[in-house]
Structure 1
Amino acid sequence: MYSDWKSSQLTDSISKRFREEVTRKTGERSKPSGTGFKEFATNRINIERDARKILSNIGKNITDEVEKVGMLGPEKGELKCATSFKFQQGDIHDAKYITMTSMRKTDQKDFVQMIKDVKRKSTSDDLFDSITQLNDIPDIDKIKSISDLLLFWRRFTLQGEQYSPSNGECSMLNLHNELDEEKEIYILDEPERSLGNEYINDVIIPLINDKAVQGKIVFISTHDANVAVRTLPYNSIYRCHDIDGYATYIGNPFSNNLVHAVDESKVLDWKKISMKTLEGGQSAFGERGKIYGNN
C-alpha cells in the first residue's frame, strides 16, 4: 500500500513539474488537471485538525509543583512553595494567575476564542474571516507554541492551605535553610533575632549541635544564653571593655576559663561571665529559677 501511494505521489509531482515547464517555455498556461477540490478539502481538514489539536492540548491538566521551603517548628510543620499551572482556555480571569511570558491575558483569551471559532467554521464559507481576526490580534506573533498560553500561580502553603509567613518565620526559614546547606563553615550573626525560644530550642540548637558532631565549624555571634551555652561551644570569645580599654578573652565551658588573648595571666570564670552577660547575673538567674519552681 505504501509503495503504491508513493508511486502515485511521484507520478503526480512529475506531471505537475512537466506542466510548469511547458507553461514557462510556451507562455501559455496549461489546462488544469482537476477542479482543485482535493486541495481545498485537504486544506480545510488540516485547519480543523490543527485547531482541534491546540484545543485538546490546552485542555490538559498539569500537576502542581511543590517545593520544600523549611520547618516552622514542630507544631506548625513544614512550609512549602506550591506552583499551579493552567493553560489559558479563554475563560480564566482570576488575577492570581499570571502569564509566563510578556503576553497580556486579553490577547491570550482572544487567541483561544478565535481558535475555537476556526475549528467550528472549518467547513464554512466565512472561515477566513475568523482567520483574519486571528491574525489581527496585537500579540499574535508572540505565540510560538502552546507554552505561550501558560499561566501560573505561586504561593506558600502550610499543611495544604495557603499561608503567609510572618517576618519572624521568614527569619526562621532563612536560618534553617542556611544550616541545611552542606558546607564546611557556617557563620551565624545573632540567629536568635525574631525567633521564639521554642523554635531555638527545638530546631536551631539541634541543627547546630548536629553540625558539630559532623565536624563542621560554626561561628555564632549571640546574646542568647540557650544558643551560647546549650550548643556546648569548643571555644567562646568574650569581648569586653574595662579601664584598660577593649579586651578579648577566649575559653570554653569545659575548662571554665576565659583567657586574655594577649596577657595569659588574666583569666576570667567562664560560668560567671556567661551568667552575667547572658542571663543578667547569678541573682537574676536564681530569681527565675525560684519563679519557675514556685507552684
Structure 2
Amino acid sequence: MKKDQMTPGRRALLRAAAVFGLAAATGCMGTERPGTPRPAVPSGAAAGGPPAARALKPSAYRLQPIAGYGPPHAARARLRVRRKPILRMDGDGRAMVLTFDDGPDPRYTPGILRTLRRYDVRAMFFVCGEMAVDNKDLLREMADDGHVIGNHTWTHPLLPKLTRNAMREEIERTCEVVEDAVGEPPLWFRAPYGAWNRNAFQLGAELGMEPLAWTVDTLDWTEPGTMTIIRRVRAGAAPGVVVLSHDAGGDRSQSVDALRTYLPELIDAGYRITVPSRYGM
C-alpha cells in the first residue's frame, strides 16, 4: 500500500470527525432539535451573558407569544373577547357594586377605605398607573381589605385616539405596577371616559381582564355637592347596579363625605355591597 493511500475504514473515520467538527462550530450539537426556536433575549440584556440569564420566561404582559413557549396562535384562539363592557351584576339578591376610579390618591383614598372597613364591605378600585406607582402602600391596603383592584390605564387617555401599541403600553404598564404591589395582576379593566373600541376589548382580553362599565354615574368629578352625590346613589340604587365614583383626579372630599352617608343607608335598605367574581358578574 502506498503511503498516501487510506483504508476505507480510515476514510469513514475522518469523514465522521469532519461532520462532528462542523456541527460543533455552528452550534448544532446542543440539546435542541433542529429548528427549535430559542427563548428571546430581553431588550437591553447582554447577549453574551450566561444561559441562565438569557433564557427567561416571557413576561405575563407580552401580548404576542414569544418563540419557544407554545404555538403562536394558541392563546389568542382561546380568548373570549367581548364586544361591549359589562354594565351590571347578574344573579339573585339585592347586590350592588361600588367602584372608584382614577386613584389611588393619599388625600382621599384612605378616607374611602376607612368607611368601607367600618361597614365591612368590599369595593372595586380602578387605578391609574401614574397614581399607583407612587402609592403602592394604598394598593396593598386595598388588597389586604379584600377590595378588587382594576386597571384604568396609565395616564387616563381617550383610548380610541391611541394607536394599538400606545394603548397596549398604557394598559400593560398599569398591570405591571399592580402585580408588583400586590402580587397579582388585575382581572378587571375600565376604559377612561367609558370610551371603548375593538382594540381596547382585544388588549384587555389578551391581558386576562374583563371589561366593566357602570350603571349609575354619580358625576362626582363635577363636584356637584355632597348631597347631590348622595341623591344620585339613592335614586339609582337597585339590584345589580354598578355605581361609579372617583377617589382622585380633583377635589374628591365630597365623594368621601357622601360615602359615609349613602353606604349605611344602602345596607339598612337590605343591599349587599359586594364585588364580582372573576369570570362574570
User: Whose strand fraction is larger, Structure 1's or Structure 2's?
Assistant: 1
Query: Which of these two proteins has the greater Rg computed from alpha carbons?
Result: 1
| TM-score (normalizing by structure 1) | 0.21
User: Whose helix fraction is larger, Structure 1's or Structure 2's?
Assistant: 1
User: Larger relative contact order (C-alpha < 8 A, sep ≥ 6)?
Assistant: 2
